C-alpha cells in the first residue's frame, strides 16, 4: 500500500492550532507577518507551489481569524477545528475528513514554520513516488534541544522519532532532528493515526509515533534533509525577526538575480510580492510594503517608503519619497524628496520634485508640480479628485482645493489657493496682489538709528 505516483493528488494539512503564548499577542501566532504576509499564507503558498491541489488548516476554536485568513487566500481550503490541543497526531486526526478515502499524498506542515520552500516539499513527494510510505523532513540542528530526534538503525534507515522529553541521554546527543514536516501515503496515514497513543512524557498524541508503527509493519520510510534555516520555527518575536531576516536575504537575492543593483542590500526591505525590473538602482534604506511593481531602469534613491504602487520604466523616486497605495508612476516620471503620493496617477515624464502631497489625483504627462504644492483632497467628510492636465505648471506653494481641474498647458501662479477649474493654457492667480512702497525701508532704518550711527 506504499508509494504514490509523482503526479498523484496532494493534500497539504497545515497545523495551526497551537496557542502561541510566547508571542504575547492578541493576534494568532500564524497570522504574524514576515515579508508583509502572514506566516500561514507563506506555508500555504509553498504547498500550492509544490503542487498541492487540496489545502487544509487545523485551527483552534479560540482563533477563527486563522481559518478566515486561509479562506481569503484560497477559498477552497478546508478548515478543521481541533477542540483541544492534545498533540500533533490529534491535530491531524481533526482533519481526517480531508483524506478519508483519498489515495494521494498527505503533506503535514506547521503554520509557524514559514520558510519552507516548494523545492523541498517536491523532494518529499519524490521520496513517496520512489516507493516510501512516509517521508520525514530532517535537519542537522546546531542545538538539538527541544526537537524530536531521528533514530537511525545500523543501515541508516529511520527507526523512530524520539521526542526530546522521552529521549535517553544517548539519543539526546543525536543532532539529526525532525523538522515536523512529513509526507504520507494517505492510506498509510489513515491506518496508523488511530493506533497512536499518548503514553509519553507529555501525555500527547505524537504524529512522530507513526514512524515506529510503520517500521514495525516493514513499510519503507525515507528521510529528506533540509538546511536548518529553512525549517526554523517561530515561537516568539525574536524568532519572528530571525525568520524575517532569512526571508529578506532570499528576496534581496531574487532582486539582484533579476538584474537590480542594491548598493547596501541588507538595508533594503522587500515584501513577499515585490517585483523589481532589470537595471534598477536601489539606494540604501528603502522599504517596500506589499503590492509594489517596479519596471526597468528605475532609480529609487535612499530612504523611500513604497507600498501598493506601480512604477514604470525609467522613473526616478526619492530620496525620502513616500508612495502610498494606488500610486501609479508612469514612464520617466521624477518624484523627488519629501513628496507623498496616494491613489494618484502620475503620467509620463511629469515632475513632482519637492515637498508635495498629491492624493486622489491625476497629473498629466510632462506636467510640472512645484515645491510645496498640496492637493486638498479631503473636506473632513469626503475625498475629492484633482485633475492636472498634460503640460500644466503648478507654481510652488499652491493649494489645489478638490474637486478641481487644471486644464492642459495651464499655469497656476505660485502661492495660489485654487478653488475653481482653470481652462487649458490659462494663467490662474489666487493670492493677494503685491504692493510696493518706495523708500519705506530706508525711512524706517533712519528713524531707528541712534546719533552714534549704531542701530
Q: Confirm if 31 and 44 have CB atoms less than 8 A apart.
A: no
Q: What backbone phi and psi angles, to 5 degrees, belong to 252?
A: -65, -45
Q: How far is the CB of 20 from ligand UD1 (least distance, A)?
A: 7
Q: Give the residue among 126, 151, 125, 129 at the shortest CA–CA distance from 138.
A: 151
Among 77, 120, 178, 368, interactor with ligand UD1 by CB under 6 A: 178
Pick between residue 111 and residue 330 the one whose CB is nearest to ligand UD1.
111
110 binds ligand UD1 (CB under 6 A): yes
Residue 234: C-alpha distances to residues 29, 114, 118, 243 (Å): 8, 8, 19, 7
Show the cell assigned to 14: 497545515
Among 10, 135, 161, 186, interactor with ligand UD1 by CB under 6 A: 161
Pick between residue 79 and residue 365 the one whose CB is nearest to ligand UD1.
79
104 binds ligand UD1 (CB under 6 A): no
Pick between residue 10 and residue 89 the one whose CB is nearest to ligand UD1.
89
233 binds ligand UD1 (CB under 6 A): yes
Q: How far is the CB of 95 from ligand UD1 (least distance, A)?
A: 10
User: Judged by CB under 6 A, which stretch of 62-70, 205-213, 256-264, 342-350 contacts ligand UD1?
Assistant: 205-213
Question: How many C-beta neighbours within 10 Å does residue 131 have?
Answer: 13
CA–CA separation, 97 vs 90, rounded Å? 13
Among 37, 42, 90, 215, interactor with ligand UD1 by CB under 6 A: 90
Pick between residue 210 and residue 311 the one whose CB is nearest to ligand UD1.
210
Q: What residues from 22 to 81 belong to the interface with ligand UD1 (CB under 6 A)?
A: 58
208 binds ligand UD1 (CB under 6 A): yes
Q: What residues from 283 to 302 belong to the interface with ligand UD1 (CB under 6 A)?
A: none
Among 28, 104, 138, 180, interactor with ligand UD1 by CB under 6 A: 180
219 binds ligand UD1 (CB under 6 A): no
Q: What backbone phi and psi angles, to 5 degrees, belong to 205?
A: -85, 110
Using the structure block, give the residue that is written with the C-alpha cell 477563527: 64
CA–CA separation, 34 vs 242, rounded Å? 10
* DSSP assignments along 307-368, one per residue: -SEEE-TT-EE-SS-EE-TTEEE-TT-EEEEEEEEEEEEE-TT-EEEEEEEEEEEEE-TT-E
Please report the sign of the dihedral spanned by the C-alpha atoms of residue 21, residue 25, residue 27, residue 29: negative
Pick between residue 51 and residue 111 the one whose CB is nearest to ligand UD1.
111
Helix pair 64-73, 39-49: axis angle to 10 deg: 40
Q: How far is the CB of 44 from ligand UD1 (least distance, A)?
A: 14
148 binds ligand UD1 (CB under 6 A): yes
Catalytic site includes residue 140: no
By CB under 6 A, how many residues form the interface with ligand UD1? Answer: 27
Query: Active-site residue among 354, 381, 384, 385?
Result: 354
Pick between residue 232 and residue 274 the one whose CB is nearest to ligand UD1.
232
Q: How far is the CB of 214 from ligand UD1 (least distance, A)?
A: 15
Residue 454, burial from CB neighbour count under 10 angstroms (0-12, 13-18, 19+) = exposed
| Helical residues (DSSP H) of 81-199, grouped into ranges | 88-94, 118-129, 169-172, 186-192
Strands 176-185, 105-110: pairing is antiparallel
85 binds ligand UD1 (CB under 6 A): yes
User: Judged by CB under 6 A, which stretch of 12-20, 251-259, 263-271, 316-324 contacts ligand UD1?
Assistant: 12-20
230 binds ligand UD1 (CB under 6 A): no
265 binds ligand UD1 (CB under 6 A): no
Among 56, 116, 132, 207, interactor with ligand UD1 by CB under 6 A: 207
Using the structure block, give the residue that is written with the C-alpha cell 506636467: 367
User: Judged by CB under 6 A, which stretch of 171-179, 210-218, 366-374, 433-441 contacts ligand UD1?
Assistant: 171-179
Residue 57: C-alpha distances to residues 60, 205, 276, 340 (Å): 10, 18, 32, 40
Positions touching ligand UD1 (CB under 6 A) are 15-18, 58, 82, 85-88, 90-91, 110-112, 147-148, 161, 163, 177-180, 206-208, 233
Catalytically active residues are 354
Amino acid at each position: 500500500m506504499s508509494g504514490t505516483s509523482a503526479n498523484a493528488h496532494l493534500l497539504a494539512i497545515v497545523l495551526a492550532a497551537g496557542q502561541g503564548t510566547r508571542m504575547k499577542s492578541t493576534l494568532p501566532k500564524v497570522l504574524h507577518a514576515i515579508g508583509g504576509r502572514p506566516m500561514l499564507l507563506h506555508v500555504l503558498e509553498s504547498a500550492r507551489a509544490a503542487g498541492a491541489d487540496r489545502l487544509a488548516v487545523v485551527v483552534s476554536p479560540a482563533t477563527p481569524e486563522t481559518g478566515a485568513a486561509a479562506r481569503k487566500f484560497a477559498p477552497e481550503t478546508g478548515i478543521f477545528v481541533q477542540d483541544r490541543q492534545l498533540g500533533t497526531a490529534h491535530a491531524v486526526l481533526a482533519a481526517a475528513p480531508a483524506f478519508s478515502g483519498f489515495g494521494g499524498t498527505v503533506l503535514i506542515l506547521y503554520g509557524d514554520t514559514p520558510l519552507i520552500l516548494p523545492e523541498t516539499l517536491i523532494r518529499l513527494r519524490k521520496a513517496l513516488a520512489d516507493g516510501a510510505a512516509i517521508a520525514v523532513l530532517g535537519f542537522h540542528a546546531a542545538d538539538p534541544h527541544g526537537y524530536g530526534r531521528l533514530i537511525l538503525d545500523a543501515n541508516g534507515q529511520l527507526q523512530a522519532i524520539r521526542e526530546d522529553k522521552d529521549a535517553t541521554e544517548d539519543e539526546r546527543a543525536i543532532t539529526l532532528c525532525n523538522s515536523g514536516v512529513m509526507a504520507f501515503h494517505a492510506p498509510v496515514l489513515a491506518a496508523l493515526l488511530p493506533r497512536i497513543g499518548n503514553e509519553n512524557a507529555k501525555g500527547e498524541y505524537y504524529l512522530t509515533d507513526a514512524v515506529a508503527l510503520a517500521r514495525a509493519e516493514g513499510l519503507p520510510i525515507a528521510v529528506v534533509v533540509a538546511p536548518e534555516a529553512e525549517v526554523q520555527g517561530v515561537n516568539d518575536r525574536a524568532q519572528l525577526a530571525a525568520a524575517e531576516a532569512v526571508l529578506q536575504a532570499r528576496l534581496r537575492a531574487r532582486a539582484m538575480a533579476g538584474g537590480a543593483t542594491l548598493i547596501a542590500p541588507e538595508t533594503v526591505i522587500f515584501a513577499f510580492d515585490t517585483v523589481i525590473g532589470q537595471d534598477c538602482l536601489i539606494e540604501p534604506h528603502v522599504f517596500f510594503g506589499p503590492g509594489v511593481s517596479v519596471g526597468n531602469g528605475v532609480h529609487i534613491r535612499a530612504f523611500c517608503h513604497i507600498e501598493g504602487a506601480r512604477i514604470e520604466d525609467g522613473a526616478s523616486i526619492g530620496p525620502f519619497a513616500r508612495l502610498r497605495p494606488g500610486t501609479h508612476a508612469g514612464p520617466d516620471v521624477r518624484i523627488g524628496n519629501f513628496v507623498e503620493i496616494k491613489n494618484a496617477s502620475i503620467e509620463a515624464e511629469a515632475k513632482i520634485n519637492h515637498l508635495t502631497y498629491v492624493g486622489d489625483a491625476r497629473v498629466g504627462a510632462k506636467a510640472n508640480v512645484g515645491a510645496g504644492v498640496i492637493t486638498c483632497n479631503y473636506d473632513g467628510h469626503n475625498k475629492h479628485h484633482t485633475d492636472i492636465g498634460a503640460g500644466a505648471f503648478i507654481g510652488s506653494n499652491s493649494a489645489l482645493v478638490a474637486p478641481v481641474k487644471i486644464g492642459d498647458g495651464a499655469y497656476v501662479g505660485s502661492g495660489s489657493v485654487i478653488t475653481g477649474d482653470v481652462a487649458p493654457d490659462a494663467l490662474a492667480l489666487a493670492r493677494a496682489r503685491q504692493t510696493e512702497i518706495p523708500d519705506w525701508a530706508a525711512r524706517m532704518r533712519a528713524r531707528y538709528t541712534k546719533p552714534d550711527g549704531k542701530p
